[in-house]
Chain A
Amino acid sequence: MKSAHKDVLKQLEVLLKHGKIRKLFNYNLIFLPWLILFILCCLHFLSALWTTFVIALLLLIIAQLIFRRLAGYQALTVANLVAHLNSQFPELENSAQLLLPPSKPWELLQVLQKKKVVGVLKPILQRPAGQLLPGLNLRWVAIHSLLVATLGLTGLFLVQMPVITPATQKTILDRSGEIRLLSSSVTVIPPQYTKNPETESEGLDISLIAGSKVEWLITFSDQQSDYYLQLADGSKHEFVRSNSGEYSLSKTIDYSGVYHLGTNSGKLDGLYTLSVTPDRPPSISIQQPQRTITEIPKNGQPVLLTKVKIEDDFAVNKVDIQASVAKGSGEAVKFRDQVFSFDQSQQDGKAAIHSKTWDLAKLGMEPGDELYFTVRAWDNRQPEQQLTRSQTKIVRWLEEEQEGILSDGLLIDFMPEYFKSQRQIIIETIELIEARPTLDKVDFDKTSRGLGIAQSDLKQKYGQYLGDEFDHGVVQQMEDGLGLPEIEIHDSEHGDTGHGEEAHSGDDHDEHDEHKNEEHESIESGGHEPHAHHHEEENSAVEDKSGAAQMIAKFGHAHGDTDIGIISQYNPKAMMKRSIANMWQAELHLMLSEPELALPYENEALKYLNLAKKAERIYVKRLGFEPPPVTEQRRYQGDLSEILSYQQRQSVALTINEQDSALFVLNLLKTQSDAEQLNEKQLQHIQQVKRQLMAKVQKEQNIIRQVATLERIQLAQSLQLDNCERCVDELYNVLWRTLPDPVALPVQRQEDYSDVQPSVIQFSQRVEAIKQNRMSKERVGETP
C-alpha cells in the first residue's frame, strides 16, 4: 500500500512538472508576439542582425527567469494539482488531498479513504498529461497577438511614405511647393571623328569635348509645366515632354559655360557647368634635322634624312611636306614649290613618326641651291580640320669646298660663312639639350662642339670691335701692345682657316702677360682694382711643348680683362667685355660637351650684348649730329599770319577699369556677411566680373567653376550658397590672380603742418614783413 501511495505521489510529481512546463510554454506563447515585434523593430531601425539576435536571446532568457517568479507559476504545487484533479474527477470524491503528507496523523476513516483514492487515482494518472492538466490559456495568447499586430501595423503605417495615387493628377509637390528634379540622365555623344564612346551620367555638371551632342532626359516633380534650359549666353532651349512624363532636350555644345533650368514661373534652383575641352590642333616636332639650317658640302652626299613626330589628341588626317627649291643666287634666284609626302610612317603610341629621305640631286638641285621645307599636318576635326605647320628647315647645298679645320684633334668638315647670332646659339643649345636622349654621344659631342665654334666666331667678331685681334687663335688685345713671338706647337695640326684673323686653333700661340691689361682696364672702368691673376703664361708658353698652355690660352680667359668696375656704369665697351667673358665660358663648356653649363653663360652674354647695344645706341647718339639750339630770334621765322592762338577744351575718358569691378567684388567677398542681401550696385559689379571671366573661360576651362559661383551668387542675391564649401574662397583666389599690379594714380601731397616747421616759420615771417612794409608805406603816405 505504501508503495502504491508512493507511486501515486511520484506520478503526481511528474504531472506537476508537466504542468509547469505547460505553464512556461503558455507564457512564452504570450511573450512570443512581443519578441517578434521587438526583433522586427530592431531590424528596421538598427539594421543589425547579430545585435538583434543577441538581444532577443537575452530577452528570452530573462523572460524565462521572470516567468518562474510569476504567481501563476508559483501556484503550481502538488496541493493545487491535487485540488485541480479533485475538481476534474468527481470519482476522487474530493479526497485526493489525502495523498499529501498530513500535518497530523490521519484518522482511520481518512486512511481508508486514502486507500480508496489511491486506487482511483492510479488509473487516472495513466492518462495523457494533456487530459489531466488545465489547457493552454490561448485567450491571452490571442489578445496579445492581436495587440502586437495592431501596434505593428500602426507603426508600419507611420513609418512608411504615403502611397502614390494613380496618375490622374501628375503634379507632385513637396510640402514647400518647390519643383524638384526626380531623376536626370545626361548622355554625351562626342563628335564622330573623335571615336570616343558615348557617356551617360546622372549629374548635370558635364565635361565634354567641343562639338559633342548632349542629350538631357529629366523627370520633374511637376509634370504639367514647360521647362527650358538657359545657357550662359542667355539663349533658352525648350524641353520636349514625352508621354511618360520625361523631358528631353538635345544640343551640340561648343563652348564652356554655365546653365540652369527654368520654368515659366522662374528659374529652378541649381546651376550647372559645361566644361568643354577644345580639340587641339596637331603638334609637330621635327626630330631630324635638329638645326634650322643644314649644310651639305659640295662634294658630300646630297642626301638628308628627315624624321618628324606628329601627334594629335584624336587623329591626324593628312600630313605632307611643303617644299621650295631655290636655285641661283642674288637676283637670279628662282623658286620652285612642290608638295611631298613622307616615305615612311611608324606609329609610336599616340604619335606617329614620319620619315623622308631627301635626295637633292633627284630634286634637280645643284651645289649652291637651297631647299626649304615645312611639314603640315591636319587633324580629323569636323566640320573644319585644323592645320599645323612646323618651323621651316633649310637645306643648303654648299657651293665651295670647305677646308677641314682641326680643332683639338677633330676634323670639322666645314666652316659657316656667316655668324650665328647669340640668340641662335642659345636656341640651338636648348634644342641640343632637349635632344640629348635621342642623340648618340658622338653626334651630341659633335653638335656641341659645332656650337662652341659658332660661339667662338661670335666672340671673335665682337672682340674685334673692341680692338682685340684674333691671330692664330689667341685673343690679342690692343691693350696688350705688341704680342710675344709666335711659337710652334708640335703635336697638333693647325692650318689657316681662311677666315683671316679668326682661328679656332692656331699653330702659333702668343702667350702674353694679361696683367698688363688690368691697369688700362681699371682706369677706363673707373678705378676698380684688378683681380689677382694666376695665369703666368708669359714665360711658360715659350717652353710649353705639350700644347696645354695653348689650350688654356685658347679656351681659358683672363678674368682681369673683363673688369669693368661698377656694373651700374653703362659703358658699352665694358658691357661688351663682360659679354665676351661670358662667351668664353660658354664656348668652354660647349667644347667640353656641356651645353647645360654653357646655357647660363650664353644667356648672360646675350643680356650684356643687348645692354651694350643700348648703351652703344646712346653712345652713338652722343656722337651724332646735334643741331644747335634754335634761338628765340631765329625761331618761328616766316609767315605767322595763319597761326592762331586759341583755347581748347577736351574731356578725357577715364581708363576703362575692369579692375574696379574685380576689386569691388574681392572686397565684397571678404567683408560682406553671408546672409546679407546684395544690393543692385553689388550685383552689377558681379555681373561685370562674370562677363570678364566668361571671356577667359575658353582658354582656361577651370574658370568655369568660378563663373558658376558668380551665377549662383547672382541667383541667390547673397553670398550664402548651398553646397559651397570653398567656392567663395576659390573665386576670391581666381579674381585676385586676374588682377594686374596697379598703375599709380595722381595724388595730392598731404602733410601735417605745424608751427615749428621751417616753411611755416619762414612764411609767417614773410607775411609779417609784408605787413610791416605796408603799414610803414601807409604811414609815409599819411604824413604830410
Chain B
Amino acid sequence: MITLQAPLLSLPTPIITLLVFLLLSCITTVWLSLTRLQGKSVIHKGLVTSFNVLAFASVAAWLIGFNISQEKVVSAVLLTEGASESRDIEPSQGKVFELRTLSDNSELFPDASQIGSIMELHNKLPDLQSLHVIGNGLSQKQWAVFDQLYQGAETLNIAYTPGKLETGMVNLVWDQQLKVGQFQLVSGLLQAQSPQSLYTISLFDPTDRVIETVNLRAGESFSFSFVPKGVGEWRYPIRVQERGAEETIADESVAFAVAYSPKPSILVNQSAPLFETRHLKNWATEHGVRMTITSQISQSKSISQHLNYSSENQHFIKDPLAQGKLDLYDFMVIDGRAFMALSEDAKRYLNTAVNEGLGLLILADADLMEAVRSKKMPTTAGFNLRLSNQKIDRIAVPMWPNSIIQQPIKVFNANFSEQDSAPLITDENGRALVMSKDVGLGKLALSLMPNTYQWKTAGMAQTYSHYWQFMLSRLGRNNDKQQWQHTDKVAYPLDQQQLCFRGVNPVEGQLIHTSMKQVQNLTFTPQWLEQDKYCAAYWGLTSGWYQINPNDSELPGFRQYIYPASNWKAWQQQDKMTATKAKVGNFDLNPVVIERPVATIWYWLVLILSLTCLWIERRFFS
C-alpha cells in the first residue's frame, strides 16, 4: 500500500512561517481574483480559484517535502553462475541481480543489475527480506559474508533454483604432500547431468600418457593409485569423457609435491647375522639412514656395526640397550632369540624406550615359536600367539595398503588372538602376519615374516622397499617435530590459507611463486592452544606453484599448488549448491515500510501548469 506522509511536526520554524505566509497570500489572491471576476460564470471563477490554490499548494508541498511510504516485502532474485538463459523471471519476484564472477564476461540477462559481490547487493538492498537464488548458488564464504551483512539473516527467506548440473569430478581426495616412493591415492565421485550415460575417467602422467582408465556412471566413485616418479612438483591430468566420444568434458589435474622425508635412525639387535637384517641394512644405509647393528657372534661376544655415523657425528652408542640410549633411535628390530635373551634390565629399558616413542619390531624365529609352543612365555612380548597344530610354517601372500605382491612367502603358522590390536599386515585370508599395538607413545610389533628379503633377491626391489617404508612409517618413532600442517583442500587464488609448523618457531618466512618469483613475507605466530605450533596466514594472488621457505634454512620448505578459479567447475558447483541448499528456508515476513520523498519535479510541474493556465485565462479570457 502506498501512502503519502508529510513530516509536519518535524518542520523547522522558518518553513512554518513561510507556509503561513503562503496561506495568507493564497487567501488574498483568491479574494482579489474573485473580485476581478465579478460577473463571470461560476465555472470560470472556480477554475481560476483552483489554479491559484494549486499553484500555492505546489509551493507549499515543495516546502513541506512529502514522502511516499509503501509497505512491501523486499525481495530480489540473484542470478549466479550456471543460471539458465531461458529462465523467465517474474517481476513480482523482485529486482534481479546478476552476480558476476571474474571469468564471466557474458551478460545472460541484460535487464539484471550487475553486481560483483554480496556487499554490493547489501548496498542496494539493505532491507532484503526474500532472496531467490538461481544457478549454482553461493559458496560458504559468500554465505558467511551474507550472514554477516544481513544480521538476522536466519529470518530471511531463501529460495533456491539450482542450475544445470556440470559434468565433472567432485569430492576428490588425494595427498598433496608425499614422500618418495609413497603411493598416491586419488579418489572421488563423478557428477553428471545424465544418470544413464557411461563416462570414462582417465588418469594421465605429466607427459599425457594414460596411467589408468575407469568407466562409470554418474554418482559412482573412482580411485586411482600410483607411485610418482620422484621428488618434485607434479601435476597429473585427470579427464572425463563420455564413453566412446573424443571430446573431453572435464579436464583437471591433481597437483602434489613429493619430498624427501627426515631419515630415521635404526637399531638392529640380532642373535646371529641374518639375511633379513642384512638386506634391510643395505636398503636403509644406501639412502643415508644411520644404523647400528649388534650381532651376537659368540656366547658373550658381539660385533656392532655403526653405519653412516660420519666423522662429525661421533655419537654412535657402544651399548645401545643401556639405560637412556635407546632414545637416540627411532626404530629397533630384534629377532626372537635375541629378544628372549635380553636381560631384565635391558627389557626394562626397552619397555621405557617404547613407552617414550621407540618403535620395536620383533622378528619371530624358530626359537620364539618353540617358546610359544612350550608355553615358556605367557605372552610373546604382549601378544597372545597361538601356534597351529599343524606345521610350524605355511605359505601366505602378505597384503598391506597398496601392496602389489602376488608371490607367496613362507611365514610362521601362528595366530594372534583377537584381543590384540589391529593387524598391520595380513595374508590373503585376513590372518594377521604382523600385529602391532600401541605402547605408550611407541609401537610394538611382532612379525611372522622373517624372510621378506626374498623379494629383494627375486628382483622386486620396489616391493621390498615399499614394505619397509610402510613398516617404518607405521612403527617408527613419531616425529611430530618439524613437520608442516596444512589441509589438503583445494585452494584458489585469494583464498585465505593457513600453514602451521610443529617444532621450532620459523618466525618468518617467504611465500614465493615458483614461476613468477613473486615474494611475500610471512610471519608465524604461536598458537595458544597447542604448544610448539606456529601458524601463518597467506593468500596466493595467482594460480601456480608456491614455495614457503622459513628464513631458517635448517627447516624444510613447503610446496603448494593453487588452482585457477576456473578449475574444478563441477566440484565448486557442488560445494556452492550444497551450501546454498543448506540456507534455504521460509519464514513469515513482516512487510517493510519503505518511504521515499516525492520528486521535486512534480511540484514544479504543477506550479508551472497552474501558472500557465492562469496566464492563459488572463490573456485570453479577461
Task: Verify if B288 is at the interface (C-beta below 8 Å from A).
Answer: yes
Residue among A643, A649, A659 making CB contact with B297, cutoff 8 Å: A643
**Chain A residue total in the interface (Cβ 8 A):** 61
Bound CA–CA A730/B304 (angstroms): 51
Complex interface: chain A residues within 8 A of B308 (CB): 650-652
Q: A749-B474, A749-B476 are in contact. Are A673 and B206 (CB under 8 A)?
A: no
Complex interface: chain A residues within 8 A of B266 (CB): 746
Binds B, one of A35-43, A490-498, A705-713, A735-743: A735-743
Smallest beta-carbon distance A748→chain B, Å: 4
Complex interface: chain A residues within 8 A of B517 (CB): 673, 676
Q: A632-B299, A672-B515 are in contact. Are A752 and B480 (CB under 8 A)?
A: yes
Bound CA–CA A223/B310 (angstroms): 59
Bound CA–CA A644/B304 (angstroms): 11
Complex interface: chain A residues within 8 A of B477 (CB): 748-749
Smallest beta-carbon distance A703→chain B, Å: 15
Task: Verify if A618 is at the interface (C-beta below 8 Å from B).
Answer: yes
Task: Verify if A629 is at the interface (C-beta below 8 Å from B).
Answer: yes
Bound CA–CA A85/B168 (angstroms): 98
Contact check, B440 vs A759: say whether CB atoms are below 8 A apart: yes
Contact check, B306 vs A671: say whether CB atoms are below 8 A apart: no
Most buried by B among A644, A648, A649, A654: A649
Contact check, B232 vs A648: say whether CB atoms are below 8 A apart: no
Residue among B316, B408, B438, B515 making CB contact with A762, cutoff 8 Å: B438
Residue among A629, A645, A649, A749 making CB contact with B370, cutoff 8 Å: A629
> Closest chain A residue to B356 by CB distance?
A763
Task: Verify if A753 is at the interface (C-beta below 8 Å from B).
Answer: yes
Q: A652-B285, A663-B232 are in contact. Are A748 and B302 (CB under 8 A)?
A: no
Bound CA–CA A760/B357 (angstroms): 11
Task: Verify if A751 is at the interface (C-beta below 8 Å from B).
Answer: yes
> Closest chain A residue to B231 by CB distance?
A663
Q: A739-B230, A744-B182, A745-B179 are in contact. Are A648 and B462 (CB under 8 A)?
A: no
Contact check, B299 vs A636: say whether CB atoms are below 8 A apart: yes
Smallest beta-carbon distance B265→chain A, Å: 9
Most buried by B among A632, A743, A751, A758: A743
From 109 to 140 in chain A, residues with beta carbon under 8 angstroms from any chain B beta carbon are none
Contact check, A646 vs B303: say whether CB atoms are below 8 A apart: yes
Task: Verify if B367 is at the interface (C-beta below 8 Å from A).
Answer: yes
> Closest chain B residue to A633 by CB distance?
B299
Complex interface: chain B residues within 8 A of A165 (CB): none
Task: Verify if B115 is at the interface (C-beta below 8 Å from A).
Answer: no
Most buried by A among B286, B318, B391, B393: B286
Contact check, A671 vs B440: say whether CB atoms are below 8 A apart: no
Residue among A614, A647, A654, A739 making CB contact with B318, cutoff 8 Å: A647
Contact check, B441 vs A654: say whether CB atoms are below 8 A apart: no
Task: Verify if A683 is at the interface (C-beta below 8 Å from B).
Answer: no
Task: Verify if A747 is at the interface (C-beta below 8 Å from B).
Answer: yes
Smallest beta-carbon distance A673→chain B, Å: 5
> Closest chain A residue to B443 by CB distance?
A749
Task: Verify if A666 is at the interface (C-beta below 8 Å from B).
Answer: yes
Binds A, one of B63-71, B106-114, B256-264: B256-264
Task: Verify if A691 is at the interface (C-beta below 8 Å from B).
Answer: no
Complex interface: chain A residues within 8 A of B395 (CB): 569-570, 615, 618
Q: A673-B517, A748-B477, A751-B478 are in contact. Are A741 and B229 (CB under 8 A)?
A: yes
Task: Verify if B31 is at the interface (C-beta below 8 Å from A).
Answer: no
Bound CA–CA A485/B261 (angstroms): 73
Task: Verify if B284 is at the interface (C-beta below 8 Å from A).
Answer: yes
> Closest chain A residue to B297 by CB distance?
A643
> Closest chain A residue to B289 by CB distance?
A746
Complex interface: chain B residues within 8 A of A655 (CB): 286-287
Contact check, B229 vs A746: say whether CB atoms are below 8 A apart: no
> Closest chain B residue to A763 by CB distance?
B440
Bound CA–CA A648/B292 (angstroms): 10
Complex interface: chain A residues within 8 A of B472 (CB): 746-749
Complex interface: chain B residues within 8 A of A635 (CB): 299
A299-316 vs B: 1/0 string, CB under 8 Å?
A: 000000000000000000
Task: Verify if A766 is at the interface (C-beta below 8 Å from B).
Answer: yes
Contact check, A645 vs B303: say whether CB atoms are below 8 A apart: yes
From 562 to 585 in chain A, residues with beta carbon under 8 angstroms from any chain B beta carbon are 566, 568-570
Given contacts A748-B264, A750-B479, could you give 7 more A-B pairs where the C-beta distance is less than 8 Å?
Answer: A615-B408, A644-B301, A645-B297, A671-B514, A748-B330, A749-B477, A758-B438
Q: List 11 A-B contacts (CB under 8 A).
A: A629-B366, A636-B298, A654-B287, A670-B233, A672-B515, A746-B469, A749-B359, A749-B475, A750-B483, A753-B441, A762-B438
Interface positions of B (Cβ within 8 A of A): 179-182, 205-207, 227-233, 260-264, 266, 283-289, 297-310, 316, 318, 330, 341, 355, 359, 366-367, 370, 391, 393, 395, 397, 407-408, 410, 428-429, 438, 440-441, 461-462, 465-466, 468-469, 472-480, 483, 485, 502, 514-517, 545
